[in-house]
Amino acid sequence: MKKLIQGIVDFRKNLTEESRTLFAKLALGQKPDSLFIACSDSRVVPNLFASTNPGDLFVLRNIGNLIPPLSDSAQDSSASAVIEFSLFSLNVSDIIVCGHSECGAMRALVEGVEFQCCPHLESWLKYGEEAVKKVREGLIINPALSEQNQVSQVNVLQQMEHLKTYPFVRERLEKKELRIHGWWFDIAQADVYCYEQELNQFILIDEKEAELILGRANNPA
């Protein structure tokens, strides 16, 4: 808490005139072009590794970067509400599902931890169970990874499929008005990877991969 409070004091003291102007503009409204779905893990900071400014990303963070499919969304409506707002109110053109290495939620799923004192957590993690099942049935993207990290990568793909259960998401995908991306953040290396379906691999986002991603965005099939 001490570090947090000191950070607020430092932020106020070091805020540049350019930043003050930016915040004054943002007070009038937001126009992010992407919804970024990430884990609540304190080590995952999208604005840091993506070098974005305030107003650039609309962010949903929860344990395990999970999305309830449409059939269950009434029970866990917070994530579904974010998706609706990002599309109908903000009209984002891209949704990014970003998992990460050494995810505690994935570890709990792999190890089958008992949650006697955490029934809400246990209920929430059910949206990641299919990823564990798929890995143990042979869906391996990177065999060099631990089972926990293999599940984390497959979970990204699973949550992308959950997004597609929403009719308004499917409609925008079909009209080429929306793109869904799967990313994965390697904490130890501070590297971000993008899933390439044709290769069935998460590819490091370097300058070459960045050009491919942006090229597809500018020239949708």
Number of structural domains, the chain?
1
Inside any domain, residue 16: no
Instruction: For residue 157, give the nearest of 190, 134, 185 by alpha carbon.
Output: 134
Half-sphere exposure of 191 (CA within 13 A, CB side): 12
Task: With respect to residue 3, please indicate whether it lies within any of the assigned structural domains.
Answer: no
Q: Whole-angstrom Cα distance, residue 14 to residue 29?
A: 24
Q: Can you give the CATH number for the domain in which 70 is found?
A: 3.40.1050.10
Instruction: Look at residue 17 and tell me if it is in a domain.
Output: no
Q: For residue 23, tell me if it sits in a domain.
A: no
Cα distance between residue 42 and residue 9, in whole Å: 21
Confirm whether pTM is higher than 0.75. yes
Secondary structure (3-state) at 161: helix
Tell me whether residue 152 is in a domain.
Answer: yes
Asked if residue 100 belongs to a known ligand binding site, the reply is yes
Domain of residue 127 covers 31-218
Q: Confirm whether residue 118 is marked as ligand binding.
A: no
pLDDT tens profile 40-49: 999 998 888 8
Within 8 A by CB and 6+ apart from 61, the residues are 37, 38, 39, 40, 44
Establish whether 41 is an annotated binding residue: yes
C-alpha closest to that of 62 among 46, 83, 79: 79
- Name the strand (E) or helix (H) holding 174: helix 167-174
Predicted confidence at residue 179, as pLDDT, reads 96
- Does residue 11 belong to any structural domain of this protein? no
Domain assignment present for residue 5? The answer is no
Domain-located, residue 41: yes
**39 belongs to an annotated ligand binding site:** yes
pLDDT at position 220 is 63
Half-sphere exposure of 130 (CA within 13 A, CB side): 14
pLDDT score recorded for residue 65: 98
Q: Which residues of the chain fall short of a pLDDT of 50?
A: none
